[in-house]
């Protein structure tokens, strides 16, 4: 892709312990002409101070990933947006796998979970397979979307949970996602803390409830 066209948008809230590794990985991309925007949701730790020398813009917005990512997109200069979670780890050539914005598209990367347990590797494979079959992506898969498409659907809906699923569904009505097989790693901290099987059951029950019409605000109380 044209290396001048990518805006990397990272929502964060009290991520000083995890964000530094990702920002260091993004420095070669900045040198290739990409911009990195950190959107802070009101951190009370050193997130902002630590990030300022390593990003192009620091923006403060009301807490909530959807609101933070929309705020970042509103000030972004690029024609392609790449939304990354603060606990992600990217391959060095990740930008080369994102399509050129001259052909508006959207998609995500394959994912692996950072833990070494066999169950976590199996979960990641199933997540990638499910995403490829359904055309639905989650935020920890590193969603990217052309500015034209993002603006066309009105960006992220103001939801406290399921904002990535909602975005994927609306984008999929326009076109199927690009499923990049290059692997992006995300932290397994929630899976480790809650237990793998318990987390799987929780996530599927939340998605089913949302599909059946339970408001996202109510579901968010069970996810926190």
Identify whether 118 is part of a domain. yes
Q: Which two tokens stand for residue 104?
A: 């508006």
Identify whether 222 is part of a domain. no
Average pLDDT, the chain: 89
Domain that holds residue 115: 6-193
Q: Could you tell me which of 146, 147, 166 has the C-alpha nearest to residue 156? A: 166
Q: Which residues of the chain have pLDDT under 70?
A: 1-4, 191-194, 196, 200, 202, 206, 208-210, 212, 214, 216, 219-224
Spatial distance between the Cα atoms of 60 and 47, rounded to a whole number of angstroms = 12
pLDDT at 224: 56
Identify whether 105 is part of a domain. yes
Q: Which domain CATH number covers 85?
A: 3.90.550.10
Identify whether 128 is part of a domain. yes
Spatial distance between the Cα atoms of 152 and 35, rounded to a whole number of angstroms = 22
**Structural element, H or E, at residue 129:** helix 118-134
In which order are the strands placed within the sheet that holds 6-12? 57-60, 35-40, 6-12, 80-83, 144-146, 106-113, 178-186, 88-89
Identify whether 147 is part of a domain. yes
pLDDT at 25: 97
pLDDT at 101: 73
pLDDT at 3: 43
Q: Which two tokens stand for residue 43?
A: 């951190």
pLDDT digits (tens, 9 = 90+) for 131-185: 999 999 999 999 999 999 999 999 999 998 889 999 999 999 999 999 999 999 9
**Structural element, H or E, at residue 6:** strand 6-12
Number of domains in the chain: 1
């Amino acid at each position: 892709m044209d290396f001048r066209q990518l805006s990397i948008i990272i929502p964060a809230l009290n991520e000083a312990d995890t964000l530094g590794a990702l920002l260091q990985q993004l420095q070669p991309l900045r040198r290739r002409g990409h911009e990195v925007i950190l959107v802070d949701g009101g951190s009370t730790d050193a997130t902002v101070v630590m990030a300022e020398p390593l990003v192009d813009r620091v923006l403060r917005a009301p807490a909530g990933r959807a609101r933070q990512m929309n705020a970042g997109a509103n000030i972004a200069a690029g024609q392609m947006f790449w939304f990354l979670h603060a606990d992600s780890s990217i391959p060095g050539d990740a930008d080369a796998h994102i399509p050129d914005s001259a052909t508006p598209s959207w998609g995500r990367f394959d994912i692996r979970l950072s833990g070494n347990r066999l169950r976590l590797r199996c979960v990641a494979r199933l997540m990638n397979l499910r995403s490829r079959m359904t055309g639905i992506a989650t935020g920890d898969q590193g969603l990217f979307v052309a500015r034209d498409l993002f603006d066309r659907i009105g960006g992220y809906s103001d939801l406290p949970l399921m904002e990535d699923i909602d975005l994927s569904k609306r984008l999929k009505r326009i076109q199927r996602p690009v499923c990049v097989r290059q692997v992006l790693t995300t932290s397994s901290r929630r899976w480790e803390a809650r237990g793998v099987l318990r987390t799987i059951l929780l996530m599927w029950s939340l998605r089913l409830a949302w599909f059946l019409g339970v408001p996202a605000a109510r579901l968010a109380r069970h996810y926190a």
